[in-house]
Structure 1
Amino acid sequence: MLLPWLCITLGIAFGSAVVPFVSIELFVIGLATQQPQISCLLLGAAVAVGQVGGKLLYYYAGRGSIHLPAFLHRRPRPLTARRARWELRTKRLRAWVETVRAKCEEHPHWMLGTYSVSSVVGLPPYMATVVLAGLVRMRLSTFIGAGLVGRFIRFSLLAASPALFAGWFL
């Protein structure tokens, strides 16, 4: 009865990596609470593989290897006063993102450190660091290795302590 649960976990982890509205954390806590015979290490490994596998889509999109479908592309619209104000407001944010990208390209160890910490802690948001890793062209082996280790640590600890976290959510 162990293998079906691990396969379901892998699938849900992949889905939660692609669709960020699905909470894999709640699933892991619930599964660890209801199925205590499943090892927290096996559960952490299944989630790590699913999460990194799903995030590879975002990594490749950040690299420019995957092209988004036409309906997701912005259509050119006439510049209205409201739109001009919005672009002016977001100009500083776009400049900041470009500065961070340039710094990460200059110092690849910073990107590795940021991505590694994010994969364990979730701050800065893991989704953002995945896309940024693609933008700065982090080596694929580094991306997968650091992501697997970080996600394994995060979800193994989460699966090991369901009683602690169950009180927060239930």
Structure 2
Amino acid sequence: MLTVIGLLSTTFGVSVASALMPLISVELFAVGLVLKAPHIPWWVLAVVIATGQIGGKLLHYYAARGAIRLPKFMQRKNKTERKGRVREWLEAFRANCRRRPVWTGAVMLISALASLPPFAAVAIIAGWAKVPVTTFLLTGFIGRFVRFGALAIAPGVVATWI
């Protein structure tokens, strides 16, 4: 039988992997863990998962910012700058993020909490738009903590209703 430290280490690894590869569901893993090991406090589980998720998404953030070199197969083949309306829209969006930091933070918080828009996409866009890393980390961690805290509490709440 795994110890609590072993379970939390595994949970951290799964949360990082799910942040990098969307086909892995940390939500399903968390519900299974809560049902298998109800002695782990919900807030500890939420902190571990939120930390792993933000750690994984931080790689997306820095890659979009250009601070991490992507493997050759993931790089754009044609490195010429985009032209026309798309480029103008992207630059206007970037400027809007800088002018409206509260709006930007609110969108990132809602995305981290509800995954609408998908937090993976928001992490990439935040890096590209050069949103301050502290804003990304704080809003992302708070949103993910609330999301996975609620998920960790849910089986116990349902069990008391039944």
TM range (shorter): 0.7 to 0.9
- Normalised by the length of structure 1, the TM-score is 0.80
1:10-29, aligned counterparts within 5 Å? 10-29=12-31
| Cα distance in structure 2, aligned partners of 1:72 and 1:135 | 16
Matched position secondary structure for 1:161: helix
Alignment match, 1:40? 42
- Normalised by the length of structure 2, the TM-score is 0.84
Gap regions ≥5 residues in structure 1? 77-90
Alignment match, 1:135? 128
Amino acid at match of 2:95: A
Residue 162 (structure 1) aligned with residue 155 (structure 2):
yes
Residue 151 (structure 1) aligned with residue 153 (structure 2):
no
CA 47–116 in structure 1, closer or farther in 2 if over 3 Å, else same: same
Residues 94 and 130, structure 2, Cα contact 8 Å, conserved in 1 = no
Alignment match, 2:81? none
Q: Name the Cα RMSD after superposition.
A: 2.3
Alignment match, 2:53? 51
Gap regions ≥5 residues in structure 2? 79-83
1:35-72, Cα deviation, whole Å (9 max, x unpaired) = 11111111101000000001110010111111211122
| Cα distance in structure 1, aligned partners of 2:49 and 2:11 | 6
How many pairs are equivalent?
A: 152
Query: Which gives a bigger RCO, structure 1 or 2 (Cα 8 Å, sep 6+)?
Result: 1
Q: Where do 4+ consecutive residues of structure 1 move more than 3 Å?
A: 91-102, 163-166
